[in-house]
Structure 1
Amino acid sequence: MDERDAALDAAHQAARDFLATLPDRPVWPRASVEEMTTALGGPLPQTGRPAPDVIRDLAARADPGLVAIPGGRFFGFVIGGTLPAALAADWLVSTWDQNSGSSAMTTATVALERIAGEWLLEILDLPRGASVGFVTGAQVSNFVCLSVARHALLRRRGWDFTLRGLTGAPPVRLVVGRDRHGSIDRAARFLGLGEADVVVIDSDDDGRMRPDALARTLQDLPDAATIVCLQAGEVHTGAFDPFAELIPIAKSHGAWVHVDGAFGLWAAASPRLHALTWGVDAADSWTTDAHKTLNVPYDCGMAIVRDPADSIAMFRAGGDYLMYTGLDPWDVTPELSRRARGVPVWAALASLGREGVEALVDRLHRNARRLERGLRAIPGVTVVCAPDFTQVMFRLDDDDATQELGRAILQEGTAALTGAHWRGRAVLRCSMSSWVTTDDDIDLTLAAIARLTSPAAV
């Protein structure tokens, strides 16, 4: 007990020390993975050490390789920070050590996750009573939802997938937008669907699926069990598919509609931005990820399915030793044993309340607009599209110069933003996802970009 208390004290102090460095530390890591492997590795020690010493040594050695993701100037990929209540709740989750697949055994954490799921449906204005499965992230959520979709569509065609598997099953087709996230294709591979099973629909200049193209394609396709994947928030532009037009088209052809809304579904929480998600509630399943817009720690995606019976039919666990109760968390996700990853979601929502979630979403959007305005004032910078939500994308006139700026700003250390390609051109992406980001953080980032693109720097 004394060693455990001392180890927790050491971890608490190391956490406080790390958080205190965020305003001034370089945002990108200062050491490569090879350097960190050397610093942290070596032969397994013959004898052990006291736990507090291990923790203090771990914190000291790992520090050069840590990214300042919890700070206010990490704009890479789509990664939020961690709200105070969510961080503290996550510590409790590890301390409690509850296996939260079973509602018969871990009653407190399962109840917290159920409540968090109900609050989530309310905040996102999705069908009440839908199943909410807490998974690792958006990738697994997309896999879960597409797995449920395939099972349900085959059952409608008289094929018992649970009994007969896929051999000889009716064909399943996946219809996607040209600018879908790569996790959709990866989930398709997990399901055994190849490129020949995927139909790509054209999108507009900002990445929104075109309703006319979907209607024309579905009309011309041969009969098959069809899943149409839409998205709330294109990862580069932040654009939202026009759900109110697309979903009725898909439904008229008997398709299951899945919406990948890893970060964008949270626009529904804001009256000012809710129009971006109009019509999305008519879909059959939805993906979102709380570590993005909601700002909880990693390992917290949500797979949402309109009819819980569809989730249960795909994932229901069996075995009397599991203390099966009739409806358990493991009935709607692939995992049996897992941590109570939904508890930080409960804590985040409880600490913010409806008004706080609305304010957080609005603030992230305002941050994106402030960054956009500042970028437009820097000579040589072109903003590729105005931010609908939280994504800002820009480039320089020359692709090589754009990529060099991306490398330079990571090395310079003021902020982190990541590169990509859009419509054949090199671009830099900034995702405004952190609750910590202030106007000063944005202004410091703009100053760094202006400095690195000035003629003197070149």
Structure 2
Amino acid sequence: MRKSDWKSVVDTAAGAALEYFESLPERAVMPASDRALVRAALDRPPAGEGTDAAQVVAELARDLGPHVAAQSGGRYFGFVVGGLHPAAYGAEVLLTAWDQNTSMFSSTPGASVAEELAAEWLVELLGLPEGSSVGFVTGGQMATFTCLAAARNEVLRATGWDVEADGLIGAPSITVVVKAGAHSTVLRALRFLGLGEKAVVTVDCDDQDRIRADGLAEALASISGPTIVAVECGNVNTGAFDDFQAVADLVDAHREAGNPAWVHVDGAVMLLAAASPAMADRVSGLERLDSWSTDGHKLLNVAYDCGIAICRNAAAHRAAMSVQASYLEQGTGGRDPMDWNPEFSRRARGVAVYATLRALGRTGVVELVDRTSQLARRFAASLAGSGLAEIVNEVVSNQVLVRWLAPDGDNGGLADAVMAGVRAEGSAFFSGTTYRGERLMRIAVSDWATDEQDVDRAVEALLRNAHRSIAAL
């Protein structure tokens, strides 16, 4: 084996990583960087003779480090971005060192079994049907794609059509029912799957972006044939949960009328809420549905990237994803991860899930769900009490929608000015959204490291910049 100076590389990288972690409490959340500045720092073309690996790592830490966002520092509240749990970090370091292409049990038995256990623990923790299958993918987009691929194939199989063998040309049409506030990844997955956005029937929502049961009933009554319904566990704007019992009842009746049907749950934001007794009323009926997708790199706080696709019908899931080839060693007595996701070569994303679940424990997961929701309510109470802002949504999970109140009536302009000011000073990071035609600020509390002091510090920064922006009008 060709020898390498691993120790100097590991020492250099570990030292730089630890320096970064220790800087997080006071580090600017967003760096004062622009494209030209970053390119100037990094544009070092490969030298003819190459460069020592440890030197490359040291220079990468020196040159790129100042330009990274502190997304795992407790004060990053934009976009629904999770932080990084120490157990997940440690697992990722080992995974990179081990460099396992975890597609088959025969080639990577250890990582395959770790993913198998993580999958079983997740299903049990979330109260989903025993025997549900799990695929660890890149993120919520591909988790949704995976689940909807299984849905597409299964509802067509029920009509006698074999998608795996015959494709979609000439297949019975599928109607996909989504709500007006559905996440864009659902529509994108439909394009990937050859169903297209014209297959969609859109149902109105209530004032919290929950699907209206009466609207769903009306839509289903007008549909004959294979049907897929997509609902949400944690709306990306309001954090709201759809009424899963009502959805399950309506779709059960649709099936009984002779229409093959599948209900998918987009749980990217708050599927983990199913683990918390305090959320039991919000997630009631969740287990009655057919598939669930979520992001491990959001509330569970594993490293990017990690998505999780779960299907009640394991056979449909496997049929949609698996592949056979003469040179592969499959069916050797263990779980082959490639049977459950669209990738051939892949890193063992489920190992970080394994490590994080072990580190948190059941009570730690529950505490994480409940604490991030409580901190979201703390944000809402503080901002509403200031008189400078209104809270638009019912804060039922970890999402807060904020309307800044501008004296000149340009509330959206004030929201953008406040967010820009906070970003510029580096005290926190918030992102905006256009919700029902109105520009608002959105707060997502998804980092396990966030505490009350982080929230209070961020509120102070928001109010300081609000006063400054209003004074400048």
Partner of 2:53: 51
Q: Show the counterpart of 2:231.
A: 230
2:241 maps to which residue? 240
What amino acid maps onto 1:67 in structure 2?
Answer: A
User: Which amino acid is 1:443 matched to?
Assistant: D
Q: Show CA shifts across 1:14-42 (max 9, x none).
A: 10111111111111122123321232125
CA distance in 1, matches of 2:35, 2:20: 19
Partner of 2:76: 74
Give how far 1:216 is off: 0.6
Q: Are 1:450 and 2:473 an aligned pair? A: no
What is the match of residue 431 of structure 2?
418
Other-structure match for 1:333:
341
How does 1:34-433 map onto structure 2 within 5 Å? Answer: 34-221=36-223, 223-254=224-255, 255-325=261-331, 327-397=335-405, 398-433=411-446
Query: What's the CA shift for 1:225?
Result: 1.4
CA deviation string 1:261-305 (max 9, x = no partner): 012111111111122111011111100111111111011111101
Q: Please tell me whether the aligned partners of residues 146 and 321 of structure 2 are also in contact (alpha carbons under 8 angstroms).
A: no
2:419·2:462 contact (CA, 8 Å) conserved in 1? Answer: no
SS of alignment partner, residue 228 of structure 1: strand
User: What is the distance in 1 between the residues matched to 2:66 and 2:34?
Assistant: 9
Contact 1:171 1:225 in 2 (8 A): yes
Q: CA deviation at 1:2?
A: 5.4
Q: Give the counterpart letter for 2:76 in structure 1.
A: F
Please state whether the residue corresponding to 2:278 is helix, strand or coil. Answer: coil
Deviations 1:78-127 (A, max 9, x none): 11111111110111111111111101221111111010011101111111
Contact kept, 8 Å, 1:268 with 1:275, in 2: the verdict is: no
Task: Give SS of 1:176's match.
Answer: strand
**8 Å contact kept, 2:239–2:269:** no
How far the C-alpha of 1:320 sits from its partner, in A, is 2.9
**Aligned-partner SS, 1:171:** coil
- Residue segments in structure 1 that go unaligned for 5+ positions in a row: none
* 1:368-424 C-alpha deviation (Å, 9 max, x unpaired): 111111111222211111311000110113221122222222112111010011121
Count of residue pairs brought into register by the alignment: 457
C-alpha distance in 2 between matches for 1:162 and 1:266: 32
- The share of aligned pairs that are identical, in percent, is 42
Asked whether the 8 Å contact 2:235–2:269 carries over to 1, the reply is: no
How far apart, CA to CA, are the structure 2 residues paired with 1:67 and 1:149? 37
Q: Is the 8 A contact 2:89 2:303 kept in 1?
A: yes
Runs of at least 4 residues off by over 6 Å: none
- List runs of 5+ in structure 2 lacking aligned partners: 256-260, 406-410
Q: Distance in 2 between matches of 1:260 and 1:58?
A: 37
Alpha-carbon distance in structure 2 between the residues aligned to 1:44 and 1:168: 52
Kindly indicate whether the alpha-carbon contact (under 8 Å) linking 1:173 and 1:198 is maintained by their aligned counterparts in 2.
yes
Residues in 1 aligned to 2:196 and 2:321: alpha-carbon distance in whole angstroms? 23
Q: Secondary structure at the match of 2:392?
A: strand
C-alpha contact (below 8 Å) 1:232/1:277 kept by paired residues: yes
Q: Please provide the CA RMSD for this pair.
A: 1.3
TM-score (structure 1 length as normaliser): 0.97
Judge conservation of contact 2:208–2:394 (CA < 8 Å) in 1: no
